[in-house]
Structure 1
Amino acid sequence: MKKSFHFALALSVVALSACNTTDHEESGPVGDLAPVETLPANTSYRPAFEGQTRVAGLQTSVGYESRILTQSLRSPWGITPLPDGRLLVTEKAGSMRIVTTAGQVSQPITGIPQVNPAGQGGLLGVRVDPDFASNRLVYWVFSEAVSGGNVTSVAKGELSADETSIFNAQVIYRATPAYNGNLHYGGRILFDRTGHLIISTGERSDLATRPQAQQLNSSLGKLIRITKEGQAATGNPLTGQSGARPELYSYGHRNPQGLALHPVTNDLWQGEHGPRGGDEINRIQPGANYGWPTITYGIEYSGQTIGGGIQQQQGMEQPVYYWDPVVSPSGMTFYTGNRIAEWQNNLFIGSLSGKHIVRLAITDNRVVGEERLLADEGQRFRDITQGTDGALYAITDEGRLYRIDRK
């Protein structure tokens, strides 16, 4: 009774203030719990191996708190820390802002090239240069209207000393061919350990473009690895292969909105939206084919099967984990802080339709437990990152920025 009373009280306080705290009390020893998903699946498809879906549930055993720092952001999409601990946030309509850990939100930063915010487009993922302290360079992904339709584009520019504008903004890469649609742009970006950029692109959703996820002469439905100048990175896996674009790093993706590097192995992990069922978490192998739309654990929104209705095929990778029904995984990060020991090296993922933050415990590249955090907030969690202070920071489509840390 005491726990539920405190929880209800915390929720009521959250409703009254934009900068307040919800406590999540200690739960005692943690054992194997029932899977967190209790709804029926959309299909009768069987996983390829034990633990590929609906793994045992987890519950964090120490108390932690989630604090709303601000509710005044406008459809934020990407978040990344600055070296001094503040947070750089993109907003879908085309604005970029800096937010302090006290919740103070800057005016929009000017100098951003025009985005096409229709549908799922807009100003998307963002990262700062590893040498930002000296060069002040920012890199971002956005949907751009060009001749022939729209593309997923990558740009960079220099943040002014007074932090009010971006200087010398230039587009360094466009994922072509262009398509006259406004869905499935992908849009995440990160730096790998070699200082190259990894970009996720969607296959643009429609039946007309869906097959391009399997085509190596197209940038759609891919992970792209490029230099800071937008050229194909040295050592890319398909370099020199006839008919293959040299910037491709992996292929067979649907709408990938999550990218993260494992803090111990340096492996690249990726999350993508499935159709009706079949959201995926993948461990990326250079040059590998992740199967869409040939294999999938989902079905069409109409209920029809996709392609041959198969889930496995030789030469195509299996997801490490999948969801059916979907949670709509978006931005994600591995936890490397020391405040909550049991979270070490766990993967945290913003869930849109699921309206929670996913926590996945991973051992030997297999998911061994799943927890749902902040599921009572009623928010579509769009992106999550770890701050320089070791806390997690998450943004929601509804405009909130949360700080999550041990009490």
Structure 2
Amino acid sequence: MLGKQYLKYVSSNILGMMGLSFYILADTYFVAARLGADGLAALNIAIPGYSLVNATGLMVAMGGAVRYTIAQSQGQKKQAHEIFTKTMLTGWFFAAIYLLMGIFLATPFASLLGAEGEILPMTADYLRMMLLFGVFFISNDMMLAFVRNDGAPRLAMIGMICGSLTNVVLDYVFIFPLDMGLFGAALATGFSPAVSMCVMSIHVWKKKNGFAFCRVKEVAKSGLLFCKLGISAFINEFATGVVLTVFNLLILSITGNTGVAAYGVIANIALVGTAVYTGLSQGTQPLVSQYYGKRDHHSTRKLYGFAISSALLLGAVMIAIAWGFTEPLVSVFNGEGNEALQTMAEEGLRLYFIGFLSAGINIVSAVYLGAVEQPMPSFFIAMTRGVVAILIFAFLLSALFGMLGIWLAFPAAEGATCLLTAVFMWRSRKRENKN
């Protein structure tokens, strides 16, 4: 029974998150085909803006969803409605901030991320649209979390896939026939979560939902709690943006825009790998929180075991694909046939993807700890793998080995974080045994 539930939630969520990852992947493909290395470099520099918005949505959504599932498992329906309402209001508060940034600060933001010269206006265009459409991205993240945690993971998956397909179609239309450049790619991506939300609204129309808006008080206090519980989701997503920015600046000093474009290819392919693990961990979270709310520690441990086994298997598959299909994977995003970019990206892809074997363990463990209301260990794992370790190894190894060090930084950081993860999981197990 537990295994069947696990497969239902995880399979649906992995497919859905892979669909969501194609938002940026589709942008990368069409931009590379139309705008070449400069467009690819501009997109790569702008992606941290998307990561920031999406990370905020995931943080609020995951934190609110954990509390919602626990309340539901304990039969507290009124509290569940309040948690949903407070989660949505917290998310919209952040969306308003990003809206103002999009109106007034898009160009300075692009400069801060490293864009200059001809790349600056393209980067600013993309960032502006990501920030202006922040309310769609954040609302979509929240609806996905609540629909999934409300027993409808397949509908959440369908919503994500429909949004992704919409993005692919609009990317082609806006970039090729309408010749709207990077602005068109951003516009296509911005519209897509609205389609996803329309699909998921079926859950509400059919009155299958266990959540609804209601009058609430102390929104700020609850919002802080949601952010605390969902902080690992924020760091896991936002870290991608931080790493992109730092790596872009390091690579610019080593090989210039061609190196940035090569890293952009790898980073965007890696988004799919990260999405697989995000889907795995977020698919496990509703069940872990549900059984945790019932004080069934045996089932939560079993679910963690399922998730780790799945992570190791998926990591091995991703490494095999990266090593077995290196040339065609890179060629898809090298529309100009740039030989320097192709050679650099092929070497980087093989080395970079080694880190995914350890990454799955770290991502799954961080989300698991958040799901059982242990936010601090969850935070430290996410912060170490996503920011501290990766930056230390990036600066150290690039200084020693140049571009080779850049490619090795990710596997080195994930491997080091695994040691910390093992310590926290051992402590978590001891805590559960006492209870």
Please identify which structure carries the higher helix content.
Answer: 2
TM-score by length of 1: 0.24
**Structure number with higher relative contact order (C-alpha < 8 Å, ≥ 6 residues apart):** 2
TM-score by length of 2: 0.23
Please identify which structure carries the higher strand content.
Answer: 1
